[in-house]
């Protein structure tokens, strides 16, 4: 029987071990490699072609490929023959919906039953998309912008930094702590950036940044 080749990536060794043990109990799947950083994951993908990658959403301290949306978008664009399942603690519906918009084939929540990962693997291996239990996929709209570059050029360095962290999945409060700014300041700078981009909601902002690959460099 031909097995589906799976690569797993997570910055927590215990998670890697647990996920590997779980998957290897299923005769349909074989864990061929595992990675602890985004750079390690990309090195693996450069020399092998797994059927499925299971990756954490947040794997910090990698300044080459980043993590979150940036990393996943990079994998989807450069390794199109490999399907992606995201294993994450993140439950932000806007981020999760955006992952599916990008082309992710499944999302499994770490705070749920990890056995759902096997269900997700089976669905994805058969060409389907796996959605977490009780998760409602909400379509998002993005207004067409003819002068995107002009609008982006109006955003200050500090505002741009806030948007980058927002798109990675951090809340305003978490960004404030990370950047050592007050929540009021971060909120005001985020709102200012949205006005310059002529966007009215967090949903529009997230979709805009992803669709335009603003943080892909």
32-41, 108-117, 205-214: segment of lowest average pLDDT? 205-214
Residue found under tokens 């305003």: 172
The answer to whether 4-125 and 148-211 have equal CATH topology is no
The CA–CA distances, whole Å, from 99 to 13, 46, 67, 152, 190 equal: 24, 22, 13, 23, 22
> Is the pLDDT reported for residue 217 higher than 50?
no
Instruction: Give kind and range of the element (H or E) at residue 54.
Output: strand 52-56
> Is the pLDDT reported for residue 145 higher than 60?
no
Helix/strand/coil (H, E, C) string of 165-192?
Answer: HHHCCCCHHHHHHHHCCCHHHHHHHHHH
Q: Mind listing the pLDDT tens digit for each residue in 34-45?
A: 999 999 999 999
Got the DSSP string for 105-143?
A: -EEEETTS-TTHHHHHHHHHHTT--B--TT---------
> Is the pLDDT reported for residue 8 higher than 90?
yes
CATH for 4-125, options being 3.40.50.1820, 2.170.130.30, 3.40.140.10, 3.40.50.2300: 3.40.50.2300
Q: Could you state, in order of their start, the residue ranges of all structural domains in the chain?
A: 4-125, 148-211
Which pLDDT belongs to residue 22? 94
> Mean pLDDT, the chain, as a whole number?
85
CA dihedral 161, 166, 80, 56 (to 10 degrees): 110
Better-predicted residue by pLDDT, 57 or 33: 33
> Is the pLDDT reported for residue 28 higher than 50?
yes
**What phi-psi label fits residue 125: left (phi over 0), alpha (psi between -120 and 50 degrees) or beta?**
alpha
Query: Residue 193 corresponds to which tokens in the numbers above?
Result: 């950036």
Better-predicted residue by pLDDT, 15 or 217: 15
Distance of CA 203 to the CA centre of its chain: 16
Q: Mind listing the pLDDT tens digit for each residue in 49-92?
A: 999 999 998 887 677 787 788 888 899 999 999 999 999 888 77
Instruction: Give kind and range of the element (H or E) at residue 52.
Output: strand 52-56
CATH assignment, 148-211: 1.10.10.10
Q: How many residues does the chain have?
A: 217
Which pLDDT belongs to residue 20? 95
């Amino acid at each position: 029987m031909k097995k589906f080749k799976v690569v797993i990536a997570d910055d927590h060794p215990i998670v890697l071990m647990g996920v590997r043990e779980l998957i290897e109990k299923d005769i349909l799947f074989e864990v061929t490699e595992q990675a602890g950083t985004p750079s390690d994951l990309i090195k693996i993908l450069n020399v092998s072609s797994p059927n499925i990658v299971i990756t954490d959403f947040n794997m910090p301290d990698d300044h080459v490929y980043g993590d979150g949306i940036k990393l996943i978008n990079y994998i989807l664009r450069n390794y199109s023959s490999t399907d992606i399942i995201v294993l994450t603690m993140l439950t932000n519906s806007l981020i999760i919906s955006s992952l599916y918009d990008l082309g992710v084939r499944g999302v499994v929540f770490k705070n749920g039953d990890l056995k759902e990962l096997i269900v997700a693997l089976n669905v994805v291996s058969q060409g389907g998309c796996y959605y977490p239990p009780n998760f409602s996929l909400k379509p998002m709209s993005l207004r067409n912008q003819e002068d995107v570059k002009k609008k982006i050029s109006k955003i200050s360095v500090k505002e741009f930094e806030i948007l980058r962290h927002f798109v990675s999945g951090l809340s305003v409060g978490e960004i404030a702590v990370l950047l050592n700014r007050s929540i009021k300041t971060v909120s005001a700078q985020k709102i200012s950036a949205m006005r310059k981009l002529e966007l009215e909601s967090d949903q529009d902002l997230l979709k805009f940044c992803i669709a335009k690959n603003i943080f892909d460099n």
